[in-house]
Amino acid sequence: MKLTNPSCSDDRAGSPVLRGWAGPTPVTNVLLIVEALAGGGGRHVKDLAISLAADGFEVTVACGKDRASSALLSSLMHTDSQRVHVALLPHLVRRLSVSKDIQALLDLTKLIHKTKPDIVHCHSSKAGILGRAAAKLCGIETVFYTPHAYAFQSPEFGKIKKHMFILLERFFSRFATTKTFNVSESERKQALACGLDRPEKFIVVPNGISDAIPLSADAAKSRMGFRRNDIVVGTVARLSVQKNPIEFCRVAQLMLSRMPDLQFVYVGDGPLADDVKQYVLTHQLSGHCHLLGYRSDAERLMAGFDLFLMTSLYEGMPYSLIESLRAGIPIVASNVMGVKDIVTSRQIGLLYQPGNVEAAADQLTYALNVAWDKGLIREEYEGRYTLTAMVARIEQEYRKDLKR
C-alpha cells in the first residue's frame, strides 16, 4: 500500500497519514472513525472494515496514531482487500486538549473532503463527538455512531463530568446522528433513560466474532505452564479501572483459602499492572495467581480455562465473554451492563454483585461443582454473536438509510 497525504492543500508535518487511498469509486464509500484502534472497540472496527470491504464497500479507517494497536493496524494494512485504507491522525487523542481536539476536527474535515464518504460511522465517545461534528460541518447526511459503552457510564468520572457527557451525547444524537448502534440492550436502555434521543434512533447490534479452531484444553493448559488436571480460573482483560483487576485478585485470594489447589490466570496488560503485581506479591499469591501480560494467543488460551471470571465495573459488550461462549467455557461475572446481556441463563454462567467478593467466591465454588454442557454454551455464541450476523445487521441499516 502506498503512503499518501489526505490533506487537500498541503503536506505539513502533523497532518493525518492516509495509507492506500486511490480516490473515490462508484461503490458505497464508508469512513469509520475511532480514536483508539485497540481493545474491543478497535477489534470491532477492524472486523467491520474488512467485512464491509469483502462485501463491496470502499472503506477508510481513521484512527488516532498514538493508540493504534500494532496487531489491529497490521491486520488492516495487510488485508488482501484493496478496498481498505487507513488514515492515522496524530491529533486524535483520548485526553481533553483544546488545541489537539480542534486540529483533529480540522484533520477529519479534510479527510472527509478528500475521501467523499457516503456514510460516516463513528466509534466510542471521543471520536463520536469529533467525527460527528466533522461530518455535520461537511454536510454528510448519513452518520452512524457506536458508543461501545458511553463515557458517562464510567465510575471514574464525577457527577459534573457525567452530566456534561450526557449533554454532549444528547446534542450530537439529535443534531448529527442518523442512528446509534448499541452493542447491548442495557446500553440502549441507558441511552433512553438519559433522554439522549427518540427510541427509534437506537438499534441493538451485538458484537460478533468469527469462528475459530481452538486449542485442546490440554494443549492450552500446557502452553500456560499447567498440568492437564489443574483447575484453571482465568480472564482476558486490560489491567484498567474498568476491568477491576484487584477484585479478581481478591476473589482468587478468598477462593484459595477454600480450595488451595486452584490456579488463577489474568491475561492482559494495562495501567494497573504494577498495582496488581504488588497485590499478588504482598498477599503471597504468586504460586497460584499468574499474570501473563499481553498475549497474542489469548483467545486460544481460553480453551485451557475451566471457568472464566470477569470482575468489570461496566461494559459495552465484552468480546472476551463472547470468546468464552465460543470455546464452551462457563462464566462467573459481575452483574453489570453489557455483561448481564450475555450471561442471560444459568446454563451458561452465573452473576454476582460487583464489590461482593464473598458472593463471587460462592458462585465460583458452586460453578466448579456443576457439570456444564459445553455444547449448549457454544450454541449461545452460534445463535447470537457471529461476525456474519453483526455485519449483516449493520449493512442492512446502511443501505436502508442511504435509500432515504
3-state secondary structure labels for all residues of the chain:
CCEECCCCCCCCCCCCEEECCCCCCCCCEEEEEECCCCHHHHHHHHHHHHHHHHCCCEEEEEEECCCCCHHHHHHHHCCCCCCEEEEEECCCCCCCCHHHHHHHHHHHHHHHHHHCCCEEEEECHHHHHHHHHHHHHCCCCCEEEECCCCHHHCCCCCHHHHHHHHHHHHHHHHHHCCEEEECCHHHHHHHHHCCCCCHHHEEECCCCECCCCCCCHHHHHHHHCCCCCCCEEEEECCCCCCCCHHHHHHHHHHHHHHCCCCEEEEECCCCCHHHHHHHHHHCCCCCCEEEEECCCCHHHHHHHCCEEEECCCCCCCCHHHHHHHHCCCCEEEECCCCCCCCCCCCCCEEEECCCCHHHHHHHHHHHCCCCCCHHHHHHHHHHHCEHHHHHHHHHHHHHHHHCC
pLDDT above 80 for 47: yes
User: For 351-369, what is the mean pLDDT?
Assistant: 97
pLDDT above 50 for 254: yes
How many Cβ atoms from other residues are within 10 Å of residue 270's Cβ? 17
Quote the percentage of the chain above a pLDDT of 70.
93
Q: What is the reported pLDDT for 213? A: 83
User: For 79-87, what is the mean pLDDT?
Assistant: 92
pLDDT above 70 for 23: no
Q: Contacts for 119-122 with beta carbons within 8 Å, 24 or more apart?
A: 119/28, 119/29, 119/30, 119/31, 119/143, 119/144, 119/398, 119/402, 120/30, 120/31, 120/33, 120/144, 121/30, 121/31, 121/32, 121/33, 121/145, 121/146, 122/32, 122/33, 122/34, 122/146
Q: Which domains does the chain have, with CATH numbers?
A: 3-208+387-402 (3.40.50.2000), 217-384 (3.40.50.2000)
Q: What is the reported pLDDT for 8? A: 35
pLDDT above 80 for 7: no
Q: What is the reported pLDDT for 16? A: 53
End-to-end CA distance of the chain: 35
Quote the percentage of the chain above a pLDDT of 90.
83
pLDDT above 60 for 373: yes
Cell 442471560 sits on residue: 344
Q: What is the reported pLDDT for 404? A: 67
At 280-298, the pLDDT tens digits run 999 999 999 999 999 989 9
Average pLDDT of the chain? 91
Q: What is the reported pLDDT for 6? A: 38
Q: What is the reported pLDDT for 126? A: 94
Q: Which residues contact 13 (CB under 8 A, 6 or more apart)?
A: none
pLDDT above 90 for 392: yes
User: For 320-340, what is the mean pLDDT?
Assistant: 96
Q: What is the reported pLDDT for 159? A: 87
pLDDT above 70 for 324: yes
Q: What is the reported pLDDT for 156? A: 73
pLDDT above 90 for 50: yes
Q: What is the reported pLDDT for 1? A: 28
pLDDT above 50 for 22: no
User: For 10-39, what is the mean pLDDT?
Assistant: 65
pLDDT above 60 for 5: no
The pLDDT-based confidence of 27 (bands split at 50, 70, 90) is: low
The grid coordinates of residue 282 equal 504482598
User: For 190-218, what is the mean pLDDT?
Assistant: 95
Q: What is the reported pLDDT for 64? A: 95
Q: What is the reported pLDDT for 157? A: 79
What burial class does residue 184 get, using C-beta atoms within 10 Å of its C-beta: 0-12 exposed, 13-18 middle, 19+ buried? buried
pLDDT above 60 for 9: no
Q: What is the reported pLDDT for 212? A: 87
How many Cβ atoms from other residues are within 10 Å of residue 100's Cβ? 18
